[in-house]
Structure 1
Amino acid sequence: MKNQLITALVAVSLLGCMPENKKPVVEQNQAENAAIAYSAIGKKVMIYTTASGTKLRLSITGKANFKPVGQPVESEVSVFVNPNKTFQEFIGIGGAITDASAETFAQLSKEMQQEFLTSYYSQAQGIGYSLLRTPIHSCDFSPASYTYVSDEDKELKTFDISHDYKYRIPMIKRALEMAGGELLFYVSPWSPPAFMKDSKDMLQGGKLLPEYRDAWALYYTKFIKAYEKEGMPIWGITIQNEPMASQTWESCIYTAEDERDFLRDHLGPIMEREGLGDKKIVVWDHNRDLINHRAATIFEDPEAAKYAWGIGFHWYETWTGGEPMFDNLDKVQEAYPDKKLLFTEGCVEKFDSAKYQYWPNAERYGGSMINDFNQGTVGWTDWNILLDQTGGPNHVQNFCFSPIHADTRTGELIYTPSFYYIGHFSKFIRPRAKRVSTVSSRSQLLSTSFINEDGSLVTVVMNQSDMEMDYNLYVKSEGIKVTILPHAIQTVVIE
C-alpha cells in the first residue's frame, strides 16, 4: 500500500497549487445575473483528471482557451452548458463521522491525522468537504449499542452525551476547525432506546410506542442542545435512518403515515417549543424506490409539510438487482418544488481489501452524484469518512468501504478512487453555487455543471466507456476541444 500512500500525498501536493477561494461573498442574485451575460472568452480554463490505469488523481491535465464555434455536428461528441438556465442552489458535499470513523482516526499518528483532515476538509490542499452527518447515539458502525439515557427514563432526566467525548466529539471539532469553522452539520437516529419500542430491542426493527412519541421527540432536542453547547452548530435532523428497513443493527420502522403523524403532532411542535424551530427537518432518509409515496403522504398534509424542509434518500435500492431509480427524484421535485432533495447516505457494501482500487466503486459515486444533481439534489452525503482495514469497526459485522481507509496495524492511509471521484465535485463546487443546464450528446459521457458565487463555472464530465473520447465542451456559442481517457472523470473550471 506504500505506493498508494505516495500517490495520495502527491495528489494532495498537486491540490495545494489550487488557490483557495477567498473572494468576497456577493449579493444573492449576482451569480444569476452573471450567468445571463456569461462569456467564456478570455477566461482561465483548467482541466483536472482522475483516470483508471494511470497515476492521474485530481491532476491538472490541461489548459484551454474558448473561442467562438459554429453548429455542432452529429459525428462529434459534445457537452453543452448553458449558464443562462439555472436550477437548484447547492448546499454542500461531505460524509459522516461515526463512532467507527472516530475510533479509527484516534489510532492514527498525529501526522496521519493531520493529513487525513487536510485531505477531506481543506479546499486548498484537499477536496473541501462542506457538509457533515453524525448519528444520534449508536448505529451499526459503533462498538456496541448504547443510548444517552438510562433504561426506562421516560422523562430523560439522565440524558448525557459523555459517551461521545472520547472519540466522536474531538474528531468533529477538528473537522470543523480544518473546514474553517463552518460545516453544514446534521444528525440522524438509527433507533429509539429499547424501552421506547414495541420490540424492546434497538436492533431488528420494531416500532416506536405511541406513549413515547413526545419523549423521543424531546430526545432529539436534547441532543442538539448538548452538541451545540460544545460549540458544534446543528443545521438539521433527519427523522429516522431507513424507516422501512428491519436491519440486524439499530433500526426502527415508520410507515409513511407513522412518520407524517410523528412529525406533525410531536417532533415539529416540540422542536418549536424548545426553541429549535429554525432547524431543518428531513423526512424519509431511505432509498429512491419508495421516495415518491413517502413524499406524497407527508407533503400533502399541510400541517406535517410545514415542518419538513425536504426529503433525504440513499442509493441502496439496487439490492434488488435493478438500476438506480434516478427518475423518481425528478418526479418528487416536479410534484413538490418547494421541498429539497438531499442525498443522506451511500457507500459500497461488502468490504473486500482486495478491492481498495476497484474502479467501478468510484464510478458508482460519480454516476450517482451527476444524476442526483441533475435531478435537483441540493447536497450529497457519503457514509463513513474513515474505516479501518476490516471495513469497520462494526458491532454486527456489516463491513463496508469508505473513500479512505486506515490500516491501524501500519498507520497507513489508503486512498481509494472514490475519494478522488467525490473530490471532482466537492473541491470545485462550493456552497451557494447554482446548477446550470448541461447535456451530453453521447450516453457514454455523463455531465453536470454549476456556477459558483464568484462566477467560476464548473463542469464535471465522466467517461463510463472503455474508449478514449474527444469531445467539444460548448458554453453557449463558445467551445474548446477536450480529450477524456477511458473510465475517467474530469472537472473543467472556468474562472
Structure 2
Amino acid sequence: MKKNSLKILCLLFSVAAIAQQPKTKKEFTTSGKKITVYTTAENSKLRLTSTDNLTFSAAKQPLETEFSVFVEPAKKFQTFMGIGGAITDASAEIFAKLSKEKQAEFLNAYYDQQKGIGYSLLRTTIQSSDFSSGSYSYIEEGDKDLKTFSIDHDRQYRIPLIKQAIQKAGGKLTTYVAPWSPNAFMKSNKNVLKGGTLLPEYYQTWANFYAKFIKAYEKEGIPIWGTSTQNEPMATQTWESCIYTAEAERDFIKNYLGPTLKKENLGDKKIIVWDHNRDLMNYRANVIYSDPEAAKYVWGMGFHWYETWSGGAPMFDNVGKVNEAYPDKKLMFTEGCIEKFDAAKYQFWGNAERYGTNMIHDFNNGTVAWTDWNILLDQNGGPNHVGNFCFAPIHADTTTGELIYTPSFYYIGHFSKFIHLNAVRVSTAVSRSALLSTSFLNTDGTMATIVMNQSANELTYNLIIGAEKSVVKIPAHAIQTLVY
C-alpha cells in the first residue's frame, strides 16, 4: 500500500512539474504562407500600395550574381516598442488652423492602424523649443520655488492635439518629454537661448520642474512614460538650448533628477540620456553607464541623426557599439528631420530615402523605438521663432487648407504600419549593397520584412528563409514591406 501511495505521489509531482514548465513558443514557419507585398516607389503612383501576392517554393544555394535577402527567424534580438513623431507647439498651432475635415484626415493618417500608418509613440517638449511661435515658460522668471507653475500655455493648442492623437491611436500612445532649456535665471548665460549651463544652485529646482510637469500632464489625462535629461546637450543653438557635459549630466541624474522622481512617486518614469547625435554617444554612454549610482536611474539612450552637419556620413556603427557594450540599456531614436525647408522639394525622393536608410540601420543596430520630429508644419516649414525652418512628413498649406503628403510619410509608414508593438527583430542580411533590409516577427506570428532599393534600376531579389524562397521584384528607388 505504501509503495502504491509513493507511486501516486511521484506521479502527482511529475504532472505538477510538467504543468509548471513554460510552454514552448511555436517556431516561425513559411509552410503554407503567402506573402503580401506593399510598395512605395519613385516616378509612380505606388504609395504603400499592395502590389503582389507571392508564395514560397524550395530554395537552393543562390548565385553570386543574384540579389538576395536572407531572414533567419530563429535568431532574435530587441523587442520593438514603437514608431512616432513629436507634437510640438508648431504642429499643434498648424493643426488648429485646419478644417474639421482635414483635422480628421490628418489624425487618421498618422494614428489609425487601418486607415493610416499607426503611430504608437509621441514626443513633446517641456516649455518652448525653436518650433514654437515664441519662447515661453511655465513659471514667472525668478520663481525658484515654482509657486507660479502652470501649463496653461499648452492648453490652447498642444494638449488638445495630444489628447486627440491618443484617442485616435486607440487610447494609448507611449509619450515621453524633453526640455530644451531651463529658465534664464537658472542658467550661466541668463538666457534661455544660445546654450549656457544650468547653475549648480538650481539643480534641485530644475529637477523639481520635471516632476511638476509630469504630474501636470498626467492630471490632464496624458500618461508620461519618460523624460530625457536635455535635448541636444552639446549644442549651443540660436534657440532654446543648454549644455551638459557627460559628467554634468551623470551627476545631475545621480544626485537630483533620479532621486527627485523617485521621491515624488515618479520612479517608474524612464530617464533617457544624451538625446543628441550619434557622433558622441559612445563617450556619453561610457561616462554615465560606468557609474552604477547614475546608471541605476537610466532606462537608456536617445540619439538624433544630425551628425552629418560636419560633412561626414551617418555614424550608424556607433549605435551598434553602444548596444554591444551596454546590452542591458535600451536605445531610442528621439529626433530626426530634413533640414533647410524648400517648398520645391516637397516630393524630393532623397528625403524619404534618408528616412528609410536611417530606420533600417538603426533597427539593425539594436534600436527599440524610432521618433520623427514635427508631425506637421506649414507651407513655410514652421512656425519657428528663430527661422530654423524644416520639413515634416506632412505639411499644411494654411492659405488653401490642403494637406501635403511627402514621400517621407510613406517610407516611415512601411515600418510603423506593419511592425506591431512587442514584435521582435530577427536576423536579416542582404547580398548586395543596392538593397537594405530589416525584419520583425509580430506577436500574431506574421513576419514583416522591409526591403529598400537604393539603386536607379528595377531589381529582382530572392527572399530566402530556411529551405524556402520567393522571388520578388522591386522598382527603382523604392521601399517594400513583405508581410508573411
Paired with 1:308 and 1:456, the residues of 2 have a C-alpha distance of: 33
Report the counterpart of residue 291 of structure 1 in structure 2: 281
Paired with 1:176 and 1:341, the residues of 2 have a C-alpha distance of: 23
Moved over 2 A (4+): none
Paired with 1:107 and 1:232, the residues of 2 have a C-alpha distance of: 23
Alignment match of 1:353 (pick from 321, 332, 343): 343
| TM-fit CA distance, 1:41 | 2.0
Alignment match of 2:363 (pick from 370, 373, 393): 373
Query: After the TM superposition, which residues 84-103 of structure 1 pair with which residues of structure 2 at under 5 Å, given as runs?
Result: 84-103=74-93
Report the counterpart of residue 481 of structure 1 in structure 2: 471
Alignment match of 2:224 (pick from 234, 244, 253): 234
Query: After the TM superposition, which residues 23-34 of structure 1 pair with which residues of structure 2 at under 5 Å, given as runs?
Result: 33-34=25-26
Amino acid at match of 1:102: A
Report the counterpart of residue 291 of structure 2 in structure 1: 301
Amino acid at match of 1:229: K
Paired with 2:416 and 2:261, the residues of 1 have a C-alpha distance of: 31
Amino acid at match of 2:406: T
| TM-fit CA distance, 1:46 | 0.5
TM-score (normalised: structure 1): 0.93
Query: After the TM superposition, which residues 39-438 of structure 1 pair with which residues of structure 2 at under 5 Å, given as runs?
Result: 39-438=29-428
Paired with 2:53 and 2:282, the residues of 1 have a C-alpha distance of: 43
Paired with 1:250 and 1:279, the residues of 2 have a C-alpha distance of: 24
Paired with 2:273 and 2:359, the residues of 1 have a C-alpha distance of: 20
Paired with 1:78 and 1:477, the residues of 2 have a C-alpha distance of: 14
Relative to structure 2, which stretch is displaced further, 258-267 or 41-50? 41-50
Native 8 Å contact 1:41 1:65 kept in 2: no
Q: Does 1:440 align with 2:430?
A: yes
C-alpha deviations, 1:194-222, integer Å up to 9, x for none? 11101110000000000000010010010
Report the counterpart of residue 4 of structure 1 in structure 2: none
| TM-fit CA distance, 1:188 | 0.3
Residue correspondences, number: 463
Q: Does 1:450 align with 2:447?
A: no
Amino acid at match of 1:493: V
Paired with 1:130 and 1:44, the residues of 2 have a C-alpha distance of: 27
| TM-fit CA distance, 1:69 | 1.3
Q: Which runs of 5+ in 1 are unaligned?
A: 1-28
| TM-fit CA distance, 1:33 | 2.6
| TM-fit CA distance, 1:74 | 1.2
Native 8 Å contact 2:34 2:56 kept in 1: no
Paired with 2:339 and 2:419, the residues of 1 have a C-alpha distance of: 27
Paired with 2:68 and 2:338, the residues of 1 have a C-alpha distance of: 31
Paired with 2:104 and 2:465, the residues of 1 have a C-alpha distance of: 39
Native 8 Å contact 1:41 1:67 kept in 2: no
Paired with 1:136 and 1:42, the residues of 2 have a C-alpha distance of: 51
| TM-fit CA distance, 1:44 | 3.0
Native 8 Å contact 2:339 2:391 kept in 1: yes
Report the counterpart of residue 22 of structure 1 in structure 2: none
Q: How well do the aligned residues superpose, as a CA RMSD in angstroms?
A: 0.9
Amino acid at match of 1:217: A
Amino acid at match of 1:33: K
| TM-fit CA distance, 1:64 | 0.6
Paired with 1:125 and 1:477, the residues of 2 have a C-alpha distance of: 36
Percent identity of equivalent pairs: 67
| TM-fit CA distance, 1:476 | 1.7
Report the counterpart of residue 26 of structure 1 in structure 2: none
Task: Name the SS of the counterpart of 1:237 in structure 2.
Answer: strand
Paired with 1:270 and 1:398, the residues of 2 have a C-alpha distance of: 34
TM-score (normalised: structure 2): 0.95
Native 8 Å contact 2:97 2:398 kept in 1: yes
Task: Name the SS of the counterpart of 1:377 in structure 2.
Answer: coil
Task: Name the SS of the counterpart of 1:285 in structure 2.
Answer: strand
Query: Which has the larger Rg?
Result: 2
Native 8 Å contact 1:365 1:421 kept in 2: yes
Paired with 1:356 and 1:238, the residues of 2 have a C-alpha distance of: 31
